[in-house]
């Protein structure tokens, strides 16, 4: 099993040796390795069983570090970096030769982010290389939002997990790029589209269900528990499955179902707060996936602000 701790020097040392470390960020926990070391990058793909066509995000500690790995900074994206870095925003930038093709799956852009978690930024500023870090889960499964989630699934494959507590955003970063002057959102995430548009003007959101090779993270089925997820009107679903006598779990936004045992229901935010719901989404899905239920009944949240990204994850979790 991996050691769990808060020792930045130890994490740095392991990373310098080319090893992989579980790393907290404000979005989800990452499986981090030296992005400039092809062996470490290969190990990331193998450890996650991630297909090699699905490129990685590199994490840097400063704008200056970001600049050292790109050819130029498109001005539309610079404005976004100034507004939202450090934070849950990933920018697709024209890569230079320092970034191995393995990292970007051969694309000529590299996904870059300055994470907002203080421990992680300290780690990054301590290193003279960027960290490639996809979410620290087997490919296709729910992303981890606490150190124990990483331990559960990858603990036997990595030496150390840096413990930064529960993720404060709980959803992956919003991925944004620009093509011919048009700003494009490739993945909905921790920064709502409305906030992006306040800075960058109207954006294009790439179709949600594509398996477009340009953004393989947009695979239709993703972020999925092993237990099937059924999305719909919760009252209807709950009464239907109760009548059938099935052992189901419930993932609700703010509604309580008094007749369902606590162990089989997760209420994302009793007060109806979208930020709180985002923080609880993945841990709630994990909890229900471990409960002895044959199906998870869930509902979409209000389609606004973070609700859009939450609904995106719920739909992918429900997709087969």
Residues of the shown chain interacting with Mg ion in the complex, contacts defined by CB under 5 A? 135
Nearer to Mg ion, 56 or 123 (CB): 56
Q: Is 217 in the site for ligand AMP (CB under 6 A)?
A: yes
Sign of torsion over alpha carbons 288, 290, 291, 296: positive
Nearer to ligand AMP, 172 or 299 (CB): 172
User: Nearest 10 degrees: CA dihedral of 254, 147, 1, 47?
Assistant: 90
Q: Is 215 in the site for ligand AMP (CB under 6 A)?
A: yes
Nearer to ligand AMP, 4 or 107 (CB): 107
What does the alpha-carbon distance between residue 116 and residue 89 come to, in Å, rounded to a whole number? Answer: 10
Residue 64's CB: how many other CB atoms inside 10 A?
A: 8
Query: Residue 152 binds what, of Mg ion, ligand AMP, none (CB under 5 to 8 Å, by partner type)?
Result: none
| Cα-only R_g, the chain | 19
- What is the closest distance, in whole angstroms, from the C-beta atom of residue 24 to Mg ion in the complex? 15
What 3-state class would DSSP assign to 174?
Answer: strand
For 158, phi and psi rounded to 5 degrees? -130, 150
What does the alpha-carbon distance between residue 154 and residue 136 come to, in Å, rounded to a whole number? Answer: 7
Query: Residue 175 binds what, of Mg ion, ligand AMP, none (CB under 5 to 8 Å, by partner type)?
Result: ligand AMP
Query: Residue 273 binds what, of ligand AMP, Mg ion, none (CB under 5 to 8 Å, by partner type)?
Result: none
- What is the closest distance, in whole angstroms, from the C-beta atom of residue 73 to ligand AMP in the complex? 15
Query: Residue 174 binds what, of Mg ion, ligand AMP, none (CB under 5 to 8 Å, by partner type)?
Result: none
What does the alpha-carbon distance between residue 13 and residue 150 come to, in Å, rounded to a whole number? Answer: 20
- What is the closest distance, in whole angstroms, from the C-beta atom of residue 257 to ligand AMP in the complex? 32
What 3-state class would DSSP assign to 177?
Answer: strand
Binding-site ranges for ligand AMP (CB under 6 A): 54-57, 92, 104, 107, 109-111, 134-135, 172, 175, 186, 214-217
């Amino acid at each position: 099993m991996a050691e769990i701790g808060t020792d930045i020097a130890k994490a740095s040392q392991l990373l310098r040796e080319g090893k992989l470390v579980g790393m907290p960020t404000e979005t989800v926990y990452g499986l981090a390795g030296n992005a400039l070391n092809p062996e470490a990058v290969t190990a990331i793909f193998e450890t996650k069983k991630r297909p090699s066509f699905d490129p990685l995000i590199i994490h840097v500690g400063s704008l200056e570090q970001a600049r050292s790995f790109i050819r130029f900074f498109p001005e539309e994206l610079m404005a976004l970096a100034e507004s939202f870095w450090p934070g849950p925003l990933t920018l697709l930038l024209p890569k230079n030769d320092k970034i191995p093709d393995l990292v970007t799956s051969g694309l000529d852009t590299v996904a870059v982010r300055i994470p907002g978690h203080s421990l992680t930024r300290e780690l990054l500023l301590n290193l003279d290389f960027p960290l490639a870090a996809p979410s620290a889960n087997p490919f296709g499964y729910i992303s981890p939002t606490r150190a124990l989630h990483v331990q559960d699934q990858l603990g036997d494959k990595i030496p150390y997990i840096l413990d930064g507590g529960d993720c404060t955003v709980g959803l992956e970063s919003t991925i944004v790029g620009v093509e011919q002057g048009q700003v494009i959102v490739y993945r909905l995430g921790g920064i709502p589209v409305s906030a992006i548009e306040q800075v960058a003007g109207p954006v294009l959101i790439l179709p949600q269900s594509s398996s477009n090779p340009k953004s393989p993270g947009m695979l239709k089925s993703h972020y999925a528990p092993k237990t099937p997820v059924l999305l719909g009107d919760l009252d209807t679903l709950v009464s239907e499955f109760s009548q059938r006598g099935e052992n189901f779990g419930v993932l609700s936004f703010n509604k309580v179902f008094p007749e369902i045992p606590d162990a089989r229901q997760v209420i994302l935010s009793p007060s109806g707060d979208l930020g709180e719901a985002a923080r609880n989404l993945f841990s709630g899905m994990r909890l229900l996936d471990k409960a002895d239920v044959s199906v998870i009944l869930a509902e979409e949240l209000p389609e606004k602000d973070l609700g859009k990204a939450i609904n995106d994850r719920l739909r992918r979790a429900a997709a087969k």
